[in-house]
Structure 1
């Protein structure tokens, strides 16, 4: 890491003017889309749902800003990262301090087989799966089913799960969840009074569901691919977990914009202090980031859906059918 730090250091500096511009070119169109969707309800709900697809793209981008605030990388000021991040979190139905804490644990333990279960996609080894009973296997298969993970997952996570704190959470995280829930309830009540609760639900639910689906997919594909890196604590290495345990999701430029460049995930895991608006430049200008990138394009990413278990013996992710042959 000592050799890499000087190469990526220039990209670790937040630019407040750039951050404000990122907020403006995202929050203003998002608010405008909401206004148009409210109007569209009087015309056609099909039009509303079509607009919701675009709004969901902006919501994903808002989540990345919220995410960067948690890493204290979006603004140069810790205070502004905390304040702005809290309100961005409300837009994505996520309590800031609680989620940021869980996400920090994810960064510290990513790809460590002995420290799974915090802020990651639940992943079992082939041996663990084979030792489970019938009901345990069925539950894991259901969880890994794309219809469950990407279909039901967004509603469960953003509407239900984020309303509670994790057992063992500190008072800071618990208080943050309570405050976020209260403010969010007030905002929902205000919007429902303004445009009607039916209109609010008909707009917010599909936008949140579609945006959440994309968000879960992005997180999944960036840590679930065939030749990724998993290791036990004794052999786990931070740099390896970043460069080999997080992919470079090579998306078209317009999708990179909507996903806040988080596709450069190997760089993000190597240095979370690099803001989303500096990730592409870091990749283009630091040859090492290109050399070690585990590149996935859209076609390759779709093949990762069949992967479900880590095969320690073969050192790669496998599907259920392949695991059955072990």
Structure 2
């Protein structure tokens, strides 16, 4: 009997009984093989433009020109930083390069750029793959989601905190700065020595890079560039993660009824983005494909999607109709859908 990919089921919590996968799932395994040349090209076409944008922003700040021009360049740089985060995400799954060593090395390099510790984030993210859409296993690598019953039974303070957390200003605005500048500076819940050392090493490297850049161009220039770039990239990244699992028609279930294939096909969105945005987001919009095959590299997700007809049965989430997802706040177990307050 075939079972779900171990990478997607990593979790220390008790999991539901593993179920047999449909016959077409085995066809996805041929897309798991990484291509080092494609991976190297992705590294180059992501890091080189990002570095060039930093040089341009440094020039605009030091020349005394309009800061609005710097911010305009920061928007583009943030988009490239989102792409770099997707490469970091592939390294977490060991899917960018064939070599585990290369994935770990570049995982740390990308982690410094995106202010995210490699091993610590890997720990929580793999738990997310084993627990997403499972109402009894929330709390790892996901966005805080309450059921309507839980919300109604909570204290006024908890309800207020939840309302504030789910507001766009906090979730996408303050949340981005909090997560990438503060939250990821400390180890996550249930982590072990390996993950804690990853946090420490990443923090030291971030400080070292900041000191070197500040020494070269000045603290003011560094802050005027780094702060908007990490904030915008963080907000874009959180939005992508939000719409991947918070949309109309999404699937959630209690532990005993949780099905990994349904969780992937119905609990993860197919975010049908325009080609440029799809490239900048590293094909992560094919999120149902990613959850069905976490070891498939980002540069092969579309290839897999095009080759297996059943994957196209997912109703796409467009850029326009995805905006309505922000109003969804609570899971109504009676209606089996996300609802507004």
Q: What TM-score results when the alignment is normalised by the length of structure 2?
A: 0.92
Matched, 1:280 2:280: no
Whole-angstrom CA distance in 1 between matches of 2:25 and 2:319: 30
1:20 is matched with: 40
SS at match of 1:111: coil
How do 1:31-50 residues align onto structure 2 when only pairs under 5 Å count? 31-41=51-61, 42=63, 43-50=65-72
1:303 is matched with: 324
Of 24, 31, 35, the match for 1:4: 24
The answer to whether the Cα contact below 8 Å between 1:243 and 1:294 also exists between their aligned partners in 2 is no
SS at match of 1:222: helix
1:230 is matched with: 252
The answer to whether the Cα contact below 8 Å between 2:24 and 2:308 also exists between their aligned partners in 1 is no
Deviations 1:271-318 (A, max 9, x none): 110110001111112111101x24100121100110000000010000
SS at match of 2:338: strand
SS at match of 1:310: strand
1:65 is matched with: 87
Whole-angstrom CA distance in 1 between matches of 2:27 and 2:256: 28
Structure 1 moving runs of 4+ over 3 Å: none
1:324 is matched with: none
**Runs of at least 5 residues in structure 1 that lack an aligned partner in the other structure:** 321-326
Whole-angstrom CA distance in 2 between matches of 1:178 and 1:22: 28
Give how far 1:2 is off: 4.8
When the two structures are aligned, how many residues end up with a matched partner? 319
SS at match of 2:245: coil
Matched, 1:151 2:173: yes
Whole-angstrom CA distance in 1 between matches of 2:316 and 2:267: 12
Whole-angstrom CA distance in 2 between matches of 1:226 and 1:285: 26
The answer to whether the Cα contact below 8 Å between 1:246 and 1:294 also exists between their aligned partners in 2 is no
Whole-angstrom CA distance in 2 between matches of 1:296 and 1:110: 19
Whole-angstrom CA distance in 1 between matches of 2:179 and 2:118: 14
Give how far 1:241 is off: 0.7
Give how far 1:6 is off: 2.7
Deviations 1:13-44 (A, max 9, x none): 10000000011111101100100110011222
Of 254, 263, 270, the match for 1:241: 263
